[in-house]
């Protein structure tokens, strides 16, 4: 599910959808078999400052602009993958921002575009991340990002958050020139970890990424921070929880 800024501000809302009430213990695999976690970027990194800056720069238009920007970014990534015309996440994000502004008839100055893009290099981890990652590390669980984000973007976010030394080399989709949910992207986890599918938990932030990872064959945990509704794509995650401590419990750390 593509989440808008208003959804992110409702992270502590009392209403929880049916997807969110699936217990993190409900899984088919024994946690003792889990040896690694492949993370999408945003279970770790908090993207809300991007949406806050959009609203700050364009008061009253931020929610709509952010939603249009994000939706078009994913569409461009998927279209470029399907069409064999790959551009990296930074480029498709910038192109989508320009499109969104034009679609809303907003005068987006080059310096405004650059400032919004720079925000991605200033992002930090969610508050619950470091303790959970330490639990996983102490339990001997290997970890890496398996993300559409570029390696420089991931490097900046790791540095901003003081998470150096916790992750193995980034598995950016730039390596295979195909965005998730293309199977080539998920295959990177098997190749990098040298493990079987059932030994690697994929930690997703978005419902569509849950589906992609399940289609590929990974045990999948949905870090459903926004209490979003599960997608109607014929699969469900093996576990769901609103934070990274829930993921650590699921893995057995």
Q: Which residues are catalytic?
A: 40
Q: Looking at 122-182, list the stretches that DSSP marks H as alpha helix, in order from N- to C-terminal side.
A: 129-138, 151-161
DSSP one-letter code for 139: T
Q: Is the N-terminal amide bond of 203 cis, ω within 30° of 0?
A: no
Q: How far is Cα 184 from Cα 177, in angstroms, rounded to an integer?
A: 9
Please give the radius of gyration of the chain, using alpha carbons only, rounded to the nearest integer: 18
Q: How far is CA 205 from the centre of its chain?
A: 4
In whole angstroms, what is the distance from residue 246 CA to residue 240 CA?
8
Rounded to 5 degrees, φ, ψ at 154 are: -65, -40
Eight-class DSSP state of 33: G
Structure tokens at 224: 């459903």
């Amino acid at each position: 599910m593509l989440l808008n800024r208003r959804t992110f501000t409702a992270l502590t809302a009392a209403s929880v959808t049916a997807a969110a009430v699936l217990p993190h213990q409900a899984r088919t695999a024994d946690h003792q078999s889990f040896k690694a976690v492949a993370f999408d970027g945003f279970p770790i990194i908090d993207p809300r400052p991007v949406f806050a800056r959009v609203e700050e720069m364009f008061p009253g238009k931020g929610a709509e602009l952010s939603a249009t920007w994000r939706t078009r970014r994913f569409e461009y990534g998927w279209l470029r993958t399907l069409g064999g015309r790959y551009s990296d996440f930074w480029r498709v994000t910038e192109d989508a921002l320009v499109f969104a502004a034009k679609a809303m008839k907003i005068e987006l100055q080059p310096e405004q575009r650059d400032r919004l893009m720079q925000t991605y290099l200033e992002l930090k981890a969610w508050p619950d991340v470091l303790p959970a990652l330490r639990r996983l590390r102490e339990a001997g669980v290997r970890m890496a990002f398996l993300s559409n984000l570029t390696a420089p973007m991931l490097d900046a976010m790791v540095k901003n958050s003081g998470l150096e030394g916790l992750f193995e080399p980034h598995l950016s989709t730039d390596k295979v020139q195909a965005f998730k949910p293309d199977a080539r992207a998920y295959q990177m986890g098997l190749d990098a970890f040298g493990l079987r599918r059932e030994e690697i938990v994929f930690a997703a932030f978005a419902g569509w990424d849950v589906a992609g990872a399940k289609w590929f064959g990974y045990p999948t945990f949905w870090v459903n921070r926004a209490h979003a509704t599960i997608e109607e794509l014929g699969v469900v995650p093996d576990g769901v929880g609103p934070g990274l401590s829930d993921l650590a419990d699921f893995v057995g750390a």
